[in-house]
Amino acid sequence: MAPRRPPDILRKSHAHSEGKTRARDKRALEEDLAESIDAATAGRRPGRRRIADALLIDLDGVVYRGDERIDGAAEAIARLDSLELPRLFVTNTTSRPRAALVERLAGFGIEVPADDILAPADVAADWLKSRRRRKLLLLVPEATTRVFTGFEKLSPAAAVKGAAVDAVVVGDLGRHWTFDLLNTAFRCLMREPKPALVALGMTRYWHAPDGLRLDTAPFVAALAQATGAEPVVLGKPAPAFFAAALKRLGAKAGRAAMVGDDIRADIAGAQAAGLKGILVRTGKFRPVDLELGIEPDLVIDSIVDLPGILSRRVSS
Ligand SMILES: [Mg+2]
């Protein structure tokens, strides 16, 4: 193949050179081209690609805060939907079944079907079914027990009396926690064969209307500490939960982002699962969260800012 005419930058040395120099020029040309391609690609990426092509969106603290609306959230969700990004609401909430979350969202002007929401209890029920763990001690809010249809639900009294237990499932029981209940779970977990300790998320605390309130993680940690059991976490920040969410969306972790107000469960959890983490400064966010050594890929004041950022990245 005939050698191509060297570009201007190389012509001077080419003009009075032969052999070795020509070979060096060819190498330089190739390097130059590779560099230009790199530069062009690097320059193109931020402009043409969005930060994510699929979104997982936390509910409490992002779309609403307890019983309060977050200003502009409903409009922001509508604008996100107009961008036609696949999205799934993912929540560690165990105090309400999905039907109640659908109603709550509708009350804030956000109409979504139940299938648009993924909660740990749904993933836990699938996990327990697939492992044929049928006899459950459910330490979850009343509403969440409905998710576990087709299982044998043992009362704490029956568990104390020695009924066989395949799994102890822990959710956010809030004010219903008592020492006796925690101790019943402890005794079950000390038996052989050992039941599984299943955690519906590992959220440490949440922002209740009257202030911060303990969530699921501290109680799971107490049981794990006392028994040496390794909890199976089926909510944020467990990679298995993010994987279940991505599977629902048919999205790849590398092109998906999690939007949340919990620096650990939402941001660190998502990043560990290979997603980007977008932190909102609403809900439980505290400025000190940014000093924990976890670096969100993006920090925004509220979900209201997100549609603008995503559409800019598409059109610029
Ligand atoms: Mg939250």
pLDDT tops 50 at residue 15 = no
Distance of alpha carbon 95 from alpha carbon 140, whole angstroms: 8
Quote the CA–CA distance of 72 and 74 in Å, as a whole number.
6
Q: Is the pTM of this model over 0.85?
A: no
Which pair of tokens denotes residue 179?
């020492």
Residues 150 and 205: their CA atoms lie apart, in Å, by 31
Q: How far apart are CA 287 and CA 55, in angstroms?
A: 24
Report the pLDDT averaged over residues 121-126. Answer: 92
**Chain center to CA of 268:** 9
Strand partners, 186: none
Q: Of residues 81 and 36, which shows the higher confidence score? A: 81
Give tens-digit pLDDT for 206-233: 888 898 999 999 999 999 999 999 999 9
User: Mind listing the pLDDT tens digit for each residue in 54-113?
Assistant: 999 999 999 999 889 999 999 999 999 999 999 999 999 877 778 889 999 999 999 999
Q: How far is the CA of 265 from the centre of ligand 1 (A)?
A: 8
Alpha carbons within 13 A on the beta-carbon side of 67: 4
Contacts 24+ apart (CB under 8 A), 219-225: 219/139, 219/170, 219/173, 219/177, 219/182, 220/170, 222/182, 223/168, 223/170, 223/182, 223/185, 223/186, 223/189, 223/197, 224/197
**What confidence score (pLDDT) does residue 313 get?**
54
Q: Which amino acid is at 30?
A: E
The token pair that represents 267 in the structure block: 């941001």
Structural tokens at position 11? 């012509």
Cα of 38 vs centre of ligand 1, distance in Å, is 39
**At which residue do the structure tokens 């979850």 appear?**
140
Look-up: residue for tokens 């509708």? 106
Q: How many CB atoms lie within 10 A of CB 47?
A: 11
**Lowest-confidence region among 38-52, 265-279, 299-313:** 38-52
Tell me the CA–centroid distance for residue 308 and ligand 1, in Å.
22
Q: Do domains 54-92+241-315 and 121-233 have the same CATH topology?
A: yes
Centre of ligand 1 from the C-alpha of residue 205, in Å: 10
| 261 CA from centroid of ligand 1 (Å) | 5
54-92+241-315: in CATH 3.40.50.1000: yes
Look over the chain and give the mean of its residue pLDDT values, rounded to a whole number.
86
Of the candidates 143, 165, 147, 146, the one whose C-alpha atom is nearest the C-alpha of residue 156 is: 165
Distance of CA 168 from the midpoint of ligand 1 (Å): 24
β-pairing, 68-69 with 64-65? antiparallel
For 121-233, give the CATH class. alpha beta
Q: CA 91, CA 112: separation in Å to the nearest integer?
A: 14
Domain extent listing, the chain: 54-92+241-315, 121-233
Residues lying with their CB under 5 A of ligand 1, a single-atom ion: 58, 60-61, 261
Query: Please, is 44 exposed, middle or buried when counting C-beta atoms within 10 Å of its C-beta (0-12, 13-18, 19+)?
Result: exposed
Centre of ligand 1 from the C-alpha of residue 108, in Å = 16
Q: What DSSP state is assigned to residue 266? A: I
